[in-house]
Amino acid sequence: MADDCENSFGGRVSITADDQVFTPSEADIELEISNISVEAKANGDGSACFMAKPELYGCKIKFRNNSGIVWNTTLRKCKLDVTIKEIDNNRTHLFTAARIVGRPTLNLSTGEVDGCEIRGDRYQAI
């Protein structure tokens, strides 16, 4: 395992949700690590204004279909503790009391399940 990997990215990833292992595909995993978004607008006179909006933390992942996930059961769970480990980079991302949202779609050519995200109001990188 890596000791000091602050400038390293990629590599092996493991994902667990309430002790069930989810297998990510080789696609990118994207974390939304802020719970606020800011939009820039123009007032009627051309001057700038900015609007802040609260957001949920999130994670976009494509899963491999062989994960053994029962999607109807998983989507009905109101709270999941999700751990994403960057194994080679010695980093961990925690989504506490989060939920999987969206609609899973299976690509028969690649075996990827897409269309779902992890969303919640508690995120921590350790």
pTM over 0.85: no
Band (2; pLDDT cuts 50, 70, 90) = very low
Domain membership of residue 87 (yes or no) is yes
Domain membership of residue 5 (yes or no) is no
Domain membership of residue 6 (yes or no) is no
Domain membership of residue 3 (yes or no) is no
66-100 b/e (C-beta count within 10 Å ≥ 16 → b):
ebebebeebeeeeebebbbbbeebebebbbeebbb
| Domain of residue 109, residue span | 13-125
- pLDDT digits over 18-30, tens only? 888 887 777 788 9
If one counts the domains in the chain, the total is 1
| 86's tokens | 């960057």
Domain membership of residue 121 (yes or no) is yes
Domain membership of residue 7 (yes or no) is no
* CATH code, 32: 2.40.30
- pLDDT digits over 33-68, tens only? 999 999 999 999 999 999 999 999 999 988 888 777
